[in-house]
Structure 1
C-alpha cells in the first residue's frame, strides 16, 4: 500500500538525512520577505544557515520577482507599525479617561490622581516608542537584507517562462483552480483583479520548481511560509503534512521527491541534519510569527462563521462562505492592500 500511496507516508530518518545532504534548497518569496519581520539576531541566524547551504540554493524566477516587487511594501509596513501603535495608545487613553470621568463623584476613587498616573504611564510608553522608532534602520535608504540576498542568490535564480508558456499556464491554472487542485486556488478570489501573474503566482512557482528538478535531476527541498490549505494538508485545525497531491504530482512529473517545510521547521531540521546550531530562541521567534499569522486567519474565519450562522440572507451566506474558504494572512493582506494603493 505504501508503494501506491507513498505521498501520504513520512520518510524515514535515513531517507530525510540523505535528502538534506544532496537536495537543492528552494525558497519562496514569502520566506525572503519574512526576514524583515525577524529580530536582527534571528535574521543573522537565518543568514548563517543560508551561507552554509549556499552552494545548493536555487530560487524560481517567480519567487525572485515577487520578492523584488513587494520588498519596499513590507519594509514600509514595519515602519508604519509605530504609527499604528501610537493611534491605538491615543484611542485607549481616551477610552480610559472617559471611563474615569463617569466616576468623578465616587467616594473613594481619586480620579484626578489616577488620570495623572495614566498620563505619566502613556507618556513613558510614548517616549519608549519614539526611541525605538529612532533606532529602527532606514531600509528604504539602505537595505542590508536586500544586499545580502542579492549576493547569496547571484547566479542562482531560474529563468522565467516564455510568454507562450505563461499563457498556457494561465489557461491550465484556471482549470486547476476550478477543480481546486493545489497549489494556489485559495488565491482565486483575493487576487482575481491583480492580473494573471499574481493570480497564478503559486502555480508559476510550482511549475518552475518542477522544471528545475527535471532539468537538474535533483530532488528539491522547498521552504515556504504560505499558510493556506492549498499547500498544507490540514485536519481539524492541525497541519498534518504538505498536500499529498503536490508530492504525488512532483514525483509523477520528475521521478523525484519534494520535501516542503515552513521556515521554523526548516531551521529545526537543519540543526538535526546539517549540524547547524540555530538557537531555540531564534526558531521559536520564527514559529511565533507563523502561529500569530495562523491565529489571525482562525479568528477571521470564526468571525465570518458566526456571521454565517446569524444572517439568514442566502446571498450574504454565499459571499461569506467564499471569504471563509479564501482567507489570507494579515501579512499577505498588508502586501495586497499596499499594492492596490500603489496601483491606483
Structure 2
C-alpha cells in the first residue's frame, strides 16, 4: 500500500522552510549561468554577499559545465549592462527634457508668454534634467570605483576551482541533444520554453537548460545527495507556480530526480538564497535580497506579440528577394499541413544533397525579421516565425510556425477578390484584401 506522496506523486510534496534550510546545509548546490552573470548586474554589496554565500558551501557547490559555457558566452554583455542601463536612462531623461521644452513653447504661444520668461522656464527644465543625469552618472562611477578592474572574475576563479563538472563525451552529448529536442517537442520540462533557440548559432541550440539539468542531476547522483538548484530563470518549465507564487520545482522534475537518485530536489532563486544566508552562518546586507529580486523582475520578458497579416506579408516579400527557398518553405506551413514543413520538403525545394545539414536554414528568416522589426514593419516581441523541430534526435525533422501563422499564410495565398464580381456596397469600396 502507498501513501499520499508515494510513487508517481512524489513530486507534489512541497518543501517546508525547515526542509529547505536542511538542504542548504547538506545538499549539493548547483548554480546556473544567470546567477553568475547577475553578479555584474547587482549593486557591489549584493554581489559580494552572494559570493560570500556561495563560498560558505565549500565542496557542496557545483557549476554544470554548460552553465559555465553560457557564462563566458554572455559575460561581456552582462559586464556592460550597468553602463548600458545608465545610458538608456540618461537618454530617456534628455528626450523627456526636450518634450517638456516643446510643451512649454506651445503653451507660451497659446497664452502670450514673452520670450524671456519662456527662456527662463526652459533653462530650469534643462538644469533639472542635467542634475538628474549627473546623479545617475555619479552612481555608476561609484559602482565602477567599488569594483575596480574585475574583482568578480578574480573571486570566481578562486570560488570555482575544481567545482565545474567535466564536459560531456561526444556520445553522451549526442544522446543529451536528442533527449533535449524530444522534450522541447513534447513540452516536457526543463527547457521546452527555449524552443525558439533551437536553430540559433550555438552548438546546443535550445538544449542549454536540459544540459544544465542533466549535468547537475548526474553530479547529485554521483554524490548521493539531495540537489538544490539556484537559478534566476522563472519560466514555467522549471517552476511549479500558482499565479505569482513560486511553490517549488516542477513536480515532474522532482519525480525525475527522485527516480534517478532516491533523493529530493529543491529550487531557489538568488533572492531566496540571500534571504536564507543566515542558515549558512553568512551575514548579508538586508537590502541584498531585495536588490537581487529587483534585478530578476527587471529581466522578465514581456508577453509575446502575435504575427499580423501585414508583418508576415512584409517578411515574405523580403524573403522572396533574399532567401527564396526559405520563403517557399514558409508558405507551405498552412492549416492543412498543421503549420508544419517536413525536412524532406525543404530538401526538395532547395535541391539539396542528402548529406547537407539544415542547421542555419532559418538564419535568413531570423535576420530579415530583425531587420523588419528595426524598420517597424514587424512587432518587436513576435515569436520566431520558422523554427526547426527535433523530435527524433539531433537532425531537424520538420519546421513549425507560431499558432496564428498558418491562417495568415492561407489568407495571403488566397486571390484577392475581383471588385467587378462583388455586389455594390453602400459603405464604399472594400479595400481589406489589398494588403494580401
Scaled to the shorter chain, the TM-score interval is 0.7 to 0.9
For structure 2, the 5+ residue unaligned runs are: 314-332, 340-377, 385-436
Deviation sequence 1:142-180 (CA, Å, 0-9, x none): 311011011011011110111121112111211110100
Map of 1:304 onto structure 2: 305
Map of 2:44 onto structure 1: 40
Map of 1:66 onto structure 2: 70
For structure 1, the 5+ residue unaligned runs are: 325-344
Deviation sequence 1:300-340 (CA, Å, 0-9, x none): 21x737x89xx9x999xx9999739xxxxxxxxxxxxxxxx
Cα distance in 2 for residues equivalent to 1:196 and 1:243: 27
Distance 1:286 1:13, change over 3 A: closer
Distance 1:18 1:234, change over 3 A: closer
The number of equivalent residue pairs is 312
Distance 1:171 1:25, change over 3 A: same
DSSP-derived class of the 2:96 partner: helix
Mapping for residues 221-260 of structure 1, pairs under 5 Å: 221-260=228-267
C-alpha displacement of 1:183: 0.8
C-alpha displacement of 1:130: 4.0
Cα distance in 1 for residues equivalent to 2:382 and 2:129: 41
Cα distance in 2 for residues equivalent to 1:65 and 1:142: 22
Map of 1:336 onto structure 2: none
Q: In 1, are the aligned partners of 2:64 and 2:165 still within 8 Å (CA)?
A: yes
Bigger RCO of structures 1 and 2 (CA < 8 A, at least 6 apart): 1
Map of 1:334 onto structure 2: none
Q: In 2, are the aligned partners of 1:170 and 1:196 still within 8 Å (CA)?
A: no
Deviation sequence 1:4-27 (CA, Å, 0-9, x none): 313112234554343232211111
DSSP-derived class of the 2:271 partner: helix
Cα distance in 2 for residues equivalent to 1:230 and 1:34: 21
Deviation sequence 1:263-313 (CA, Å, 0-9, x none): 111122332x3343323211111112223333xx3xx21x737x89xx9x9
Greater displacement, 6-15 / 88-97:
6-15
Q: Which has the larger radius of gyration?
A: 2
Q: In 2, are the aligned partners of 1:72 and 1:140 still within 8 Å (CA)?
A: no
Cα distance in 2 for residues equivalent to 1:130 and 1:49: 30
Cα distance in 1 for residues equivalent to 2:69 and 2:93: 37
Cα distance in 2 for residues equivalent to 1:246 and 1:112: 64
- Residue 3 of structure 1 pairs with residue 9 of structure 2: no
Q: In 1, are the aligned partners of 2:183 and 2:192 still within 8 Å (CA)?
A: yes
Map of 1:166 onto structure 2: 173
Map of 1:91 onto structure 2: 95
Map of 1:126 onto structure 2: 133
Cα distance in 1 for residues equivalent to 2:200 and 2:291: 34
**Equivalent of 1:100, from 95, 104, 112?**
104
C-alpha displacement of 1:76: 2.1
**Equivalent of 2:293, from 273, 287, 311?**
287
Cα distance in 2 for residues equivalent to 1:269 and 1:200: 31
**Equivalent of 2:123, from 108, 111, 116?**
116
Q: Which runs of 4+ in 1 moved over 6 A?
A: 138-141, 318-322
Cα distance in 2 for residues equivalent to 1:141 and 1:270: 26
Structure with the bigger percentage of helix: 1
Cα distance in 1 for residues equivalent to 2:80 and 2:58: 28
Let me know the Cα RMSD of the aligned residues: 3.0
Cα distance in 1 for residues equivalent to 2:67 and 2:192: 17
DSSP-derived class of the 1:283 partner: helix
Q: In 1, are the aligned partners of 2:63 and 2:165 still within 8 Å (CA)?
A: yes
Deviation sequence 1:31-78 (CA, Å, 0-9, x none): 010011111111121122122222321111111111122111211232
